[in-house]
Structure 1
Amino acid sequence: MAAADQATRNREEARHLIATIDDGRANALLKGAYDLHVHSGPSTMPRQVDHLEAAEEAVAAGMKGLLFKDHHYSVAPFIPLLDRVLARPDFKMYSGLVLNNSTGGFNPYVVDAQLKMGARLIWMPTAQAANHVRSAHRKTRLASNVQLKSSPLLSPLDPLGNVLDPVKQILDSIAEFDAILSSGHLHVWEIWKLFDEARARGVKRLLINHPMYGLHFSYEDIRDLARLGAVVEQSAGLYIDSRFNTYSPQELKEHIEAAGVEHSSIGSDLGQVDNPTPVQGMREVIKLCLALGFSDDDVRMMVATNPARLVGQEG
């Protein structure tokens, strides 16, 4: 009950702070923004919007791009079809592959094929990562709301803590295509080992998703990995008025400051039923950041400049 009470207090505080910021100011910052963490459908889990609806809402808000994430298939091969239907060449859509058992796990041949079909981001395992499964079993973080067939727990490391050879091949492919490597839902210790190997193999684009949520990061881990070049993404849904709210507004401020605005990005991590849409979530987290004292330039860096740089849209 204590955790539920705290989440209620978090949501109430977030709503109060969000209400202090003018819509016009937030909408201006949405223009040109990129959301690299969109959970639209179809999916194994119920979704509020499909990929096309998510894109249409983002275009209407003046955003510049979205990246679609599904835990169990890659949207990348469908991006050309979505581009044709949406008919907005100024709006960019991306996707990638999550290395769960349901998509082939640590299979370098699947990764190679997806990169050649346009995948821009390769996530380490999420719902089938060993860290995720253990955390969900404890019912603390990263719990899943869909029950798939049981499958092996995935780690990119062998029992001695060495990066697996197939994972090394995957890292080489990511480097070859200058794609993004995400830490997925690995444990922070696994991420340190993985990112060291990735950097040694020429991977330039490193992304950490919601580090304080189920990945066992310390503030020092965030700071040090950011200094090594990783972009640290915070998930809007964990801080605003959503059913995934876990942290207070003050914790959002602390989580961003641990990495520094210059190394931070914000993605919605939304699209689920009974939650704000991705665009609504981005608008609310922009307001929340402004209410917490981040400047317009700070927010623009986190929702536009840094995510644009990750997907190769620096200009």
Structure 2
Amino acid sequence: MSQRPAIAAVLDGLVDMHVHSGPSPFPRRFDHVEAAQDGARIGMRAMVAKSHHHNTQMDVLAMKGRLADVAATVFGGIALNSTVGGLNVHAVRMCLRMGGKVVWFPTISSGRHIDCHPEDGAFPTTTVPLTLERIDIVDSSGALKPEAGEILDEIKEQGAVVNGGHMYPEYIRTLFQEAKERGIKRMVVSHPDFVIGADPALCRELIELGAFVEHEVGMYDPEGTQKWDPKQLANWIEQLGPEHIVLASDFGQKANPKPVDAWLRVGEALLDLGVPEKDLRRMVRDNPSYLLNLDA
């Protein structure tokens, strides 16, 4: 009987596209450099630092000296919430042309997120008082706003990733339909069963448009704040296929474990549930490497 390699070896070369390291108005347990350094435990190749409030590519550039000796490459991005001016093509243009890789359409400013968390952006409580404004990507007739189209054109030009944020599923579909028409090939919908509420059938529609479905291992970590059953994640993988799925941590919050620890625990759980090693590698390494165009 062959012996399974240690989970760290299976995860070697992992790319985490959803790390909530700091700085941030939300409490974070470490900064982007410390997150990347810790990734060495599993041979992490790259990570994307995400903030709901600001352009993280500027953080990454400011930390360039400290990152020089870190094996993992760190990228930034921008989430189109009210703290960056919402659907602000100028902010997107600066982020991507300075090296950012991901544009998240509204997350905590989306109508869907506010429906689920009406406490004015306190998700969790911010360290400083902030205001939040709802940002919608469609007009009163349901058509995509022109500024959203401008942003998609910039994403296309820079070869970046468009992420559906925390929006209503039908808004994400409208966005991805337009993205496909404009020739964008790198699209991601995050945690469809958390906040967003996209079932497998709708996810298949998004996959047909060219999207990857991102699931967050942090939600399935028994040491985290949510503790979902990994069987649910294995079921999603079986229904949609590993070729269409990206796994990410969505960790870095002060109240949660380090992302690497979640990767080790949940990765092992998925293997125990029968997910083949090659499929796990595809979801944590190959698919996100394609999205970030790391092998170009």
Q: Distance in 1 between matches of 2:210 and 2:122?
A: 29
Aligned to 1:126: 107
Identical positions, percent = 33
- Mark the CA change 1:89 to 1:243 in structure 2 (over 3 Å): closer, same or farther: closer
Identify which of 63, 86, 89 aligns with 2:44. Answer: 63
3-state SS of the aligned residue for 1:37? strand
Aligned to 1:15: none
Query: Which TM-score applies when normalising by structure 1?
Result: 0.87
Q: Confirm or deny: 8 A CA contact 1:305 1:314 kept in the other structure.
A: no
Aligned to 1:33: 14
Larger RCO: Structure 1 or Structure 2 (Cα < 8 Å, ≥ 6 residues apart)?
A: 1
Aligned to 1:301: 282
Per-residue deviation at 1:24?
5.3
Per-residue deviation at 1:81?
4.1
Q: Confirm or deny: 8 A CA contact 2:222 2:228 kept in the other structure.
A: no
Trace 1:164-183 onto structure 2 (pairs within 5 A). 164-183=145-164
Q: Residue deviations 1:172-220, cap 9 Å, x none? A: 1001111000000001010111100111112111011101111121110
Matched letter for residue 123 of structure 2:
S
Q: Distance in 1 between matches of 2:60 and 2:4?
A: 31
- Structure 1 residues not aligned, in runs of 5+: 1-21
Query: Which TM-score applies when normalising by structure 2?
Result: 0.92
Q: Distance in 1 between matches of 2:122 and 2:132?
A: 16
Matched, 1:49 2:30: yes
Q: Distance in 1 between matches of 2:214 and 2:179?
A: 18
Q: Confirm or deny: 8 A CA contact 2:14 2:42 kept in the other structure.
A: no
3-state SS of the aligned residue for 2:201? helix
Identify which of 76, 84, 91 aligns with 1:103. Answer: 84
- Mark the CA change 1:233 to 1:86 in structure 2 (over 3 Å): closer, same or farther: same
Q: Confirm or deny: 8 A CA contact 1:236 1:266 kept in the other structure.
A: yes
**How many residues end up aligned between the 2 structures?**
291
Per-residue deviation at 1:314?
3.6
Q: Confirm or deny: 8 A CA contact 2:19 2:250 kept in the other structure.
A: yes
Aligned residues: CA RMSD: 2.0
Q: Distance in 1 between matches of 2:195 and 2:93?
A: 29
- Mark the CA change 1:72 to 1:23 in structure 2 (over 3 Å): closer, same or farther: farther
Q: Distance in 2 between matches of 1:89 and 1:278?
A: 17
Q: Residue deviations 1:147-192, cap 9 Å, x none? A: 5544331111111110001111001100111100000000101011
Trace 1:174-213 onto structure 2 (pairs within 5 A). 174-213=155-194
Aligned to 1:112: 93
Q: Residue deviations 1:125-156, cap 9 Å, x none? A: 11111110011139xxx971125544331111
Q: Distance in 2 between matches of 1:60 and 1:246?
A: 23
Matched, 1:217 2:198: yes
Q: Confirm or deny: 8 A CA contact 2:27 2:254 kept in the other structure.
A: yes
Matched letter for residue 167 of structure 1:
A
Identify which of 190, 200, 210 aligns with 1:229. Answer: 210
Matched letter for residue 34 of structure 2:
E
Identify which of 125, 138, 144 aligns with 2:123. Answer: 144
Q: Confirm or deny: 8 A CA contact 1:236 1:267 kept in the other structure.
A: yes
Aligned to 1:281: 262
Q: Distance in 1 between matches of 2:66 and 2:123?
A: 32
Q: Confirm or deny: 8 A CA contact 1:99 1:123 kept in the other structure.
A: yes
Q: Confirm or deny: 8 A CA contact 1:130 1:155 kept in the other structure.
A: yes
Per-residue deviation at 1:255?
1.9
Q: Distance in 2 between matches of 1:157 and 1:314?
A: 35
Matched letter for residue 270 of structure 1:
F
Per-residue deviation at 1:258?
2.9
Aligned to 1:11: none
- Structure 2 residues not aligned, in runs of 5+: none
